[in-house]
Structure 1
């Protein structure tokens, strides 16, 4: 019998590489163990993504900086923030980020896809995921990923991103058009990190994804056959345990250090500057 292809998403692979125990709790255990509460930086990122998606639902003539800032307010949530004052500060900051982005970026063309799900068999896996934005430029697809984190991103970040590479592989098969270019749009700094993949670089990313998929698939099958979950899915203890969703179900993670406040991973308002 032919081997069944393993479905992978960037988040599934990243979770496995970050901590096998967290992978088990997120993707294998049923019922799923309780997760922690919302984090402010995740809320902020989701609001910005939703505002930019809604912007492209408007007619091109209405995609103005003011409209973009207003969409941030419309999609805003206070989840994870220290209180109304902090939430209001970051709501205004996010509005400035999105307005500045629209002022400096050509948003007149309709993307090929917004929050588009792509999925395609590639080697021994089915690579799939939801892409923030897919543009078409000069007959080729371009993968665009929005970022709102603390750090200004570089070409190396775009080149090394396995998520973006998998999106390229899936998008070119799903949409049947050439695709090589990936872009990380970092809204806090107003910078764009770009990389154009070669077939060799995409093959390297695919191979690493296949290796990870084989590892977590084997561990899952062995667990279902009666294997020891702590041997198959050991915890990877580190500073990331302080903000892990499953911290309450992991004694080793709790012992690694104190839990951070839900707003601790926000960039300070003076941390990012325009590039």
Structure 2
């Protein structure tokens, strides 16, 4: 739930960024709902995780789509997007040399890059970027609720219509969810909608998830009452997190997602033992809510 290193303003250092007040982010909130111990490992212990091909591929495709809109409208073609992929991969690899370790060899890397190119091609079947002029991209949003809880998150794209109506768009490189999981998929978008509403006093007109994995788009038009309920749910979730932090008890919750967890060696459910809970990590976590 805490998010303390997502974006350092220009001219700041990593050390300064580490001292920022903690905030609730959609990714960490979902971690706690999935498994409180997973949340602890990421938000409090901040244990290192090896890069995964799926996550890094998502970052790569996102970076290409972000930079595509730097081009003039007429130049936002599929060919231009494909030409951006190699330099963005080089930049990512320079910034994170460990990503090379994900691949067994040149053929494995080539197949992975081909998958990324396929996702970019899929994007052009879903949207025509030459007809879009986003108001913002990779937008860092931060707001404090009346309860004193700080929220922070990144919005992939924000479109604003001539009448002022706002559409929030998020790109997903996976496949669209089964209908029974749609509400769960919208958690992140409701989070963004709540932040924008509390910041600007206007509920976004549309939330849109663009699934490049299977070429589908999920849209939802939120209501103010829905965001009021969501805000209460977030506040209740934070109380659960704060209670776990104060007691030191972050229980593991097993599910099919455990197969992808990087922390099994520290998890009691898999015969591991968590490290000692760091007091400074707990203290920083609790700065989420202003006293």
TM-score, normalized by the shorter chain, greater than 0.5: yes
1:200 corresponds to which of 209, 212, 225: 225
TM-score (norm 1): 0.77
Instruction: Tell me the residue number matched to 1:246.
Output: 263
Shift of 1:55: 0.7
1:85 corresponds to which of 104, 107, 128: 107
1:70-149 equivalence runs, <5 A: 70-76=83-89, 79=100, 80-102=102-124, 104-108=126-130, 109-124=132-147, 125-137=149-161, 138-149=163-174
- Mapped contact 2:125–2:215 kept (Cα < 8 A): no
2:38 corresponds to which of 22, 40, 51: 22
Shift of 1:155: 7.0
Instruction: Tell me the residue number matched to 2:14.
Output: none
Give the Cα–Cα distance (whole angstroms) in 2 for the partners of residues 216 and 104 of structure 1. Answer: 39
1:215 corresponds to which of 234, 240, 245: 240
Instruction: Tell me the residue number matched to 1:263.
Output: none
Shift of 1:156: 6.6
Give the Cα–Cα distance (whole angstroms) in 2 for the partners of residues 85 and 66 of structure 1. Answer: 23
Which runs of 5 or more structure 1 residues have no equivalent in the other structure? 256-275
Q: Provide the secondary structure at the position in 2 that maps to 1:57.
A: coil
Q: Provide the secondary structure at the position in 2 that maps to 1:8.
A: coil
2:63 corresponds to which of 32, 35, 50: 50
Q: Provide the secondary structure at the position in 2 that maps to 1:192.
A: strand
Q: How many positions carry a matched residue from both structures?
A: 239
Alpha carbons of structure 1 residues 94 and 134: separation in structure 2 relative to 1, 3 Å: same
Which runs of 5 or more structure 2 residues have no equivalent in the other structure? 1-20, 94-98, 273-291
Give the Cα–Cα distance (whole angstroms) in 1 for the partners of residues 181 and 220 of structure 2. Answer: 9
- Mapped contact 2:145–2:198 kept (Cα < 8 A): no
- Mapped contact 2:32–2:39 kept (Cα < 8 A): yes
1:189 corresponds to which of 214, 218, 224: 214
- Mapped contact 1:21–1:236 kept (Cα < 8 A): yes
TM-score (norm 2): 0.73
Give the Cα–Cα distance (whole angstroms) in 1 for the partners of residues 177 and 257 of structure 2. Answer: 20
Instruction: Tell me the residue number matched to 1:266.
Output: none
Q: Provide the secondary structure at the position in 2 that maps to 1:197.
A: coil
Give the Cα–Cα distance (whole angstroms) in 1 for the partners of residues 193 and 180 of structure 2. Answer: 17
Instruction: Tell me the residue number matched to 1:258.
Output: none
Deviates more, 1:68-77 or 1:153-162: 153-162
CA RMSD in angstroms comes to 2.5
Give the Cα–Cα distance (whole angstroms) in 1 for the partners of residues 271 and 169 of structure 2. Answer: 36
Give the Cα–Cα distance (whole angstroms) in 2 for the partners of residues 250 and 153 of structure 1. Answer: 28
Shift of 1:130: 0.6
Shift of 1:111: 1.0
Give the Cα–Cα distance (whole angstroms) in 1 for the partners of residues 179 and 260 of structure 2. Answer: 28
1:256-275 equivalence runs, <5 A: none
- Mapped contact 2:138–2:154 kept (Cα < 8 A): yes
